[in-house]
Amino acid sequence: MTFTLGIKSDPIEYRYSFSWLFRLMKEMEIHTLQLGSFPDLYFVEDDYFLRLREQAETFGIRIKSAFTAHRELGGFFADDPALEKAARTGYERLIHVAALLGGDFAGSNPGAVYRDKMETKEKGINIYLKHMKELMEVAKQSGLQGLTMEPMSCLAEPPSFPEEIERFMNELGDYHRQASESTVPAYLCSDISHGIADSDGNVLHSHFELFEYALPWMAEFHIKNTDNRYSSTFGFGGISNKEETPAGKQGIVSLKELKKIFLGNRQHLPLSEITGYLEINGPKLGRDYSDHLLEKELRESLETIQKELV
């Protein structure tokens, strides 16, 4: 099993250019990017992404994956045909963008059930799985290697619980095996900061428990820190903890423990290579006192990960 460290591009959105990020990545010897979605992605002309790919390659960087950043493809669970159609259109565009960039994967979190309409959850799951099976065919035609989904952290955003993860992946896996010539596999893009706490804040499933459970289906994952109730996320290092961690809360993601999980379970991974992307929002956006801190925050987190995990 080969582990590759990459960055998800979320924190530069409307703050810094891709060339700024590519220079930083080159300096830190990070060569893999997951493109985080942004509003223009769904409308800008294809040539933009061809130029972005060319620019990345001049810095020795590969854009391997495209993944949502704003839960914007959640219409499969909205119980509304118009929003379902919008989600499908958006997902097909995301697949096309990933292909333009020469990527292997495109993905998202499946979506969220409205809290006041939890009775529609099962319907939403069935609608999502139906579309995913069709999208696995679209991705095959586009030249991708797979689609990925992100397990989440609550009842309203399936799959979150172990039995939900198993249901989703088994059904999609069975479909792929029956149509392996015309579909790509479905994988997970997990998040090491995702655990599940109930309405009283009691932890039902820890982040490490869920992460280890997801390994047999995992092709990529997000790396960030969190607190003991999974209520906030942040990076690794001084600035991240000072700026993002609520008072009195400490980060609970141990990179050394994460490394042990990988070393002890490498035989369960579906692929020979897995990529972990640093996924943080960065400091407060749109403030002269905070935007300039992003570079230091990224460097601190990446240096910590390189030291303890890679």
Averaged pLDDT for residues 279-302: 96
Judge contact between 230 and 217, C-beta under 8 A: no
Tokens 């990960």 belong to 305
Q: Is the pLDDT of residue 21 over 80?
A: yes
Residue 132 confidence (pLDDT) above 80: yes
Tell me if residue 30 falls in helix, strand or coil.
Answer: coil
- Segment 55-96, tens digit of pLDDT: 999 999 999 999 999 999 999 999 999 999 999 999 999 999
What local confidence, expressed as pLDDT, does residue 243 receive?
43
- Reported as a single tens digit per residue, the pLDDT across 228-268 is 999 999 999 764 444 445 444 579 999 999 999 999 999 99
**CA distances (Å), origin 292, targets 105, 212, 222, 284, 302:** 31, 36, 24, 10, 17
Report which DSSP code applies to 194.
Answer: -
Is the pLDDT at 54 greater than 70? The verdict is yes
pLDDT tens digits, 162-216: 999 999 999 999 999 999 999 999 999 999 999 999 999 999 999 999 999 999 9
Q: Residue 250 has what pLDDT? A: 74
**What is the distance between the alpha carbons of residues 254 and 275, in angstroms, rounded to a whole number?**
18
CATH number at residue 17: 3.20.20.150
pLDDT score recorded for residue 244: 47
Confidence at residue 238, expressed as pLDDT on a 0 to 100 scale = 62
227 pLDDT tier (thresholds 50, 70, 90): very high
Q: What pTM was computed for the model?
A: 0.94
Does the structure show a pLDDT above 90 at 116?
A: yes
First to last CA, the chain: 12
Percent of the chain with pLDDT over 70: 96
Looking at residue 249, its pLDDT comes to 54
Q: How many domains does the chain have?
A: 1
Write down the pLDDT at residue 240: 47
Q: Domain range spanning residue 189?
A: 2-308
Q: Hey, what are 292's tokens? A: 């300039």
Q: Tokens representing 164?
A: 């939900």
Give the mean model confidence (pLDDT) for residues 25-50.
Answer: 98
Count of CB atoms situated within 10 Å of the CB of 247: 4
